[in-house]
Structure 1
């Protein structure tokens, strides 16, 4: 930071005198400090607006830019930021006096400086962020001045102090205008969002503006496939416009994006109607990520797993869970049901039932099988796979359970695919799958509700070659071990009559 003793003498007297009078101070530095303190309150900002101080501050900024007065520049930007915090008169004057152009010049010069803390850029963005809250005219002025080139340069600065206000500005400008979102997600704008995601994936964020921005782009508008594809590992895909995910290689940024989208969707279940293309894209991601299971180390913790492959697999699955939960809550035949219909048409149920067949059974059922092994010296098939992370089985059962809710065609489909037995064996406690029992019971409840065929099938189950396990017996069930496949399934256990 630098400020020569004669710096104030270089500032036109018309500027310094007005600031001296407004602050009742005799030096420029003291005047700015006094006015910054006064502008922290609503009354102070209103009083300074009445004195028309903002044009004077803009002039001062242009002067100190030209004479490299860093200390005065920082103080001037702090004052300008405060003046524009919710005071519409100051916000209007800022636009009328070409404040966007002045701050844009500050940002441009600051990006050429070697400032490790990027304080000037942060303050300049905070000024624009406050102005962007004033209305459409203010937002359009910022957009036309900074989009796309300056936004792109700013997005490449990997500090959350920069990405937070930048996300706020872009969200405020685009939140109510689909055409601006389309421009933002076009060829010239999408690199901006791509860089913001890369930044927050490495340094995080403090405020939720980036989540609001990604929610607008990915869940309210149909641009998730394009953004996800842009974040792919370099040279993985030849055509970046095709959202095909047959390649099993994913980037850390893609995993992070899925993490954030999963969090957003879970927080807003029932409020967001997801696009059909979004649901189909997430399904394809999950479908591709399954092949990673064999090559990825088993994670003994839940999500996040600490691995790219595990997080892509897990968070794409939780997104599918919440899509199905959200749509099933709607109840009416509207657009929201299309997302689940698309997932079902793509083979979601077949895929999930197949996974449940291929992974090791819950610990309680393994205990039953081991009990049977002691009797006939047989063992579990070697082909069964371990769950890639803690809670994987539970998440699969949760997706199926939500798909079943008041959808008779799904109930019938699972029966015809011999999936009733598979779901029954999920109604057990499992230390590697917290809340598996609750999700399993919810799935069976939805499977049987209003479906006489399914109810009859369950009631007629016969016990043959069963193994007794106390945890299962408490549910009125027993484990039946198929002598040919050595797979376990749950069946009803007859209970003795007792005096009431």
Structure 2
């Protein structure tokens, strides 16, 4: 290996210009690449060897900029980055060595810029391959190494953002990988996460993942959910379909909120504020032509319904009276609309009709999620319990205790909500008791209209047998 490095160093000093000289350098680079596939060879690498590679990269960059044997120059550059990529595989020693080679990183940045300029005038697929190798190298040297992660992100983030413009699937996936590796290793560094370049990267990754279902993109979104203020920076830049992807990932992540990787409180607060300001759009679900997409708000309600079940993790959400008021008003509005005829918000209690329900519609499970949110916010929170009573929310929730094919398990969630609303709250228990009595009295009166003698006694309807002479 040392002989090969010496030969490369000698060749670089003579500044190759002819095709044969570049081909010779390319052959030497291939030998180095193959050496780095062997673990015992990787561990022999020295800072001087890296300096030789930097000289070779600089030489290739110069050749690209001056249009000198571009094809051969690019081939040589590709093999150099394959060498660097291979030398980092499961080799912390070489990662440490690279952490002190900021000049190598900056020269690699120059490589990306030279290749991007070259690709404007040439559609040569080999240039894309070289860019892939550079990004793979950045990914391998940053895995599990925080110093390299910080260096790479500081130097390369702007160039990495531009790679999405090339619309190459593998290159985009590798870029998502580097973004995830570098940013997830710096979860506590909020300044990095909310910088303009990082916000642009998050937007690019989310956009690409929405279109192409990139696993690395999903991992990065999971990390973003944990970072304070990230939603308020990123979401104004996203389309509705992209927001929905983030929310789907967040819903899965919320299921893991019992551990120390909990979702950021400020991101949940952002969702709560957005839901409160845009909740009116849900009523447009009944309209054929919608100016705004209510699906995002429906998904926010689902998220808040789960988040509020973690009473100790997100107390600010659970005690948000404005949020609770908004949810009660919304449930009341769609409940009244549902009573006005056969529409999206109407209850479906006939088995024969349940097979025709569109389970993919945004309104599916909406009332259930609103009841769930009300019940969770009432849990061991007397101010919220009182607010629900003052807004006539108790009879409203009781009205949801019937079977509804559009809202599976709404009966169970309504019963739980009533339990939480009335627990240790005598005023609410009194309201509930009076409502039950009124309901029984109405049923008794109805029976009497049909000639059945009935009376309410001990919270039960007692049907009397007819007199013998009748």
Question: In structure 2, the residue corresponding to 1:360 is in which secondary structure?
Answer: helix
- Aligned-partner Cα distance in 2 for 1:156–1:184: 22
Q: Say which of 186, 211, 234 aligns to 2:195.
A: 186
- The alpha-carbon deviation at position 218 of structure 1 amounts to 4.7
Change over 3 Å in CA distance of 1:200–1:178 after alignment to 2:
closer
CA contact (8 A) 1:310 1:389 kept: no
Please list every run of 5 or more consecutive structure 1 residues that lacks an aligned counterpart in the other structure.
1-5, 20-27, 232-249, 300-306, 331-335, 368-386, 468-478, 481-491
Q: Say which of 73, 81, 84 aligns to 1:77.
A: 81
Matches within 5 A, 1:326-345: 326=310, 328-330=311-313, 336-342=314-320, 344=322
- Aligned-partner Cα distance in 2 for 1:85–1:343: 53
Which structure has the larger Rg?
Answer: 2
- Aligned-partner Cα distance in 2 for 1:92–1:282: 41
Change over 3 Å in CA distance of 1:273–1:180 after alignment to 2:
closer
Q: Say which of 257, 261, 264 aligns to 2:253.
A: 264
- The alpha-carbon deviation at position 177 of structure 1 amounts to 4.7
Matches within 5 A, 1:331-370: 336-342=314-320, 344=322, 347-360=325-338
Change over 3 Å in CA distance of 1:459–1:435 after alignment to 2:
same
Matches within 5 A, 1:42-441: 44-50=38-44, 66=63, 67=69, 68-69=71-72, 70-97=74-101, 98-112=103-117, 113=119, 114=123, 118-147=128-157, 149-159=158-168, 161-175=170-184, 177=186, 180-187=189-196, 189-207=198-216, 210-231=217-238, 251-268=240-257, 271=260, 277-296=266-285, 309-326=293-310, 328-330=311-313, 336-342=314-320, 344=322, 347-360=325-338, 388-441=362-415
- Counterpart check, 1:449 vs 2:423: yes
Deviations 1:455-480 (A, max 9, x none): 3443441224449xxxxxxxxxxx99
Q: Give the TM-score normalised by structure 2.
A: 0.70
- Aligned-partner Cα distance in 1 for 2:268–2:367: 21
Higher share of residues assigned helix = 2
Change over 3 Å in CA distance of 1:189–1:452 after alignment to 2:
same
Please list every run of 5 or more consecutive structure 2 residues that lacks an aligned counterpart in the other structure.
1-17, 64-68, 340-344, 351-360, 448-457, 464-470
Change over 3 Å in CA distance of 1:440–1:160 after alignment to 2:
farther
Q: Give the TM-score normalised by structure 1.
A: 0.66
Q: How many aligned positions are there?
A: 400
CA contact (8 A) 2:401 2:412 kept: yes
- The alpha-carbon deviation at position 87 of structure 1 amounts to 0.5
Question: In structure 2, the residue corresponding to 1:350 is in which secondary structure?
Answer: helix
